[in-house]
Amino acid sequence: MAQYFTEVGAGKRYDQYRPKTHQAVVQKMQQHIKGRRFERVVDVACGTGDSTVPLLAFGHNVMGIDSSDEMLAIAHKRGLSVRKADYSDLPQQGRFDLISTCMAFHWFDGARAIASYKAASSPGAVWLIYDFAFAGHTTSEQFNHWLRNEYFKRYPSPPRNRFDDMKLADDEELSVIASDCGWLPVEFTLEPLIGYLSTQSNIEEATRTGKKLDAIAAELRQELSGIDITGAFKYAYSYEILEYMGNQ
């Protein structure tokens, strides 16, 4: 699969416009692991560090890895321990007691990622795999119609693995601790909404085929300025918490 979110400027937009909702899912994990602490924690595809910060509550030795120099530079400025590597490099980073990945596993080669995570897992290691997705407006049917029938048709999502098809729960060496899905309310005014949409792989795919980001933003601004976006949007989440039973 193509590698996204590594273009120049992607890290800055991601840091500025992506909702900071990771803590909500990590808090759900805390409910299921009942105060368990981990010696070594890694955040795979940590990006700018939004998904790494909540993991600091689980142990002192927390690191993030990512393939984007720009995002890693932002995470480093936040005081986080990060290094450049991708999921296939994970076993070279050592063994971990908690491996977390947010909004990235669907971009990986599933079988290769699972093998890599296993090779990097200590006995009884916990895996937290979770995703967020923009699910429209809570009350504005005008916006939701535009999203479904104009935006997604003009800027379709690039191919990726479906979370439901990953079948991590079917692996005999993985035991499901918990899994769930739902949505969180987030609010955007016009410019932050355009900024958020500019962080999506849908838009990045369009820029790779030659369309200018400024032109896309101007187009979105013109269309959305006539739509009422007052109130909350739905930011959907889904997660699986698993325990690796190998290496026992």
Please check whether residue 225 lies inside any domain of the structure: no
Please check whether residue 1 lies inside any domain of the structure: no
pLDDT at 17 over 60: yes
**pLDDT tier at 163, thresholds 50, 70, 90:** low
Could you give the angle at the alpha carbon of 45 between the alpha carbons of 24 and 72, nearest 5°?
A: 105
The pairing of beta strand 233-244 with beta strand 121-137: antiparallel
**pLDDT tier at 2, thresholds 50, 70, 90:** low
Please check whether residue 212 lies inside any domain of the structure: no
Our count of domains for the chain comes to 1
Please check whether residue 190 lies inside any domain of the structure: no
User: Starting from the edge strand earliest in sequence, which strands make up the sheet with 40-44, in order?
Assistant: 82-84, 61-66, 40-44, 96-102, 121-137, 233-244, 174-186
pLDDT by residue (tens digit) across 5-14? 666 678 899 9
DSSP 15: H
Can you tell me the mean pLDDT for 188-204? Answer: 94
pLDDT score for 161: 72
pLDDT score for 77: 96
pLDDT by residue (tens digit) across 84-129? 999 999 999 999 999 999 999 988 988 899 999 999 999 999 999 9
- Alpha-helix runs per DSSP H in the chain: 10-17, 22-33, 69-77, 110-119, 141-146, 152-154, 190-197, 201-208, 213-224
- Tokens of residue 53, six digits: 């910060």
Reduce the DSSP state of residue 58 to 3 states and report it. helix
What residue numbers bound the domain in which 59 lies? 10-135+159-183+233-244
Q: How far is Cα 72 from Cα 164, in angstroms, rounded to an integer?
A: 29
Q: Are 49 and 82 in contact (CB under 8 A)?
A: yes
Please check whether residue 95 lies inside any domain of the structure: yes
pLDDT score for 6: 61
Q: Are 205 and 158 in contact (CB under 8 A)?
A: yes
Please check whether residue 115 lies inside any domain of the structure: yes
Please check whether residue 238 lies inside any domain of the structure: yes
pLDDT score for 165: 59
DSSP 241: E
Give the range among 48-57, 66-75, 76-85, 154-163 with minimum mean pLDDT: 154-163
pLDDT score for 158: 84
Q: Are 176 and 241 in contact (CB under 8 A)?
A: yes
pLDDT score for 241: 95
Q: For the domain that residue 41 is a member of, what is the CATH number?
A: 3.40.50.150
- Alpha-helix runs per DSSP H in 42-200: 69-77, 110-119, 141-146, 152-154, 190-197
- Tokens of residue 157, six digits: 């999502």
Please check whether residue 144 lies inside any domain of the structure: no
Q: Work out the percent of the chain whose per-residue pLDDT is above 90.
A: 77
The residue whose two tokens read 């994990």 is 29
pLDDT score for 60: 81
The letter for the amino acid at 175 is S
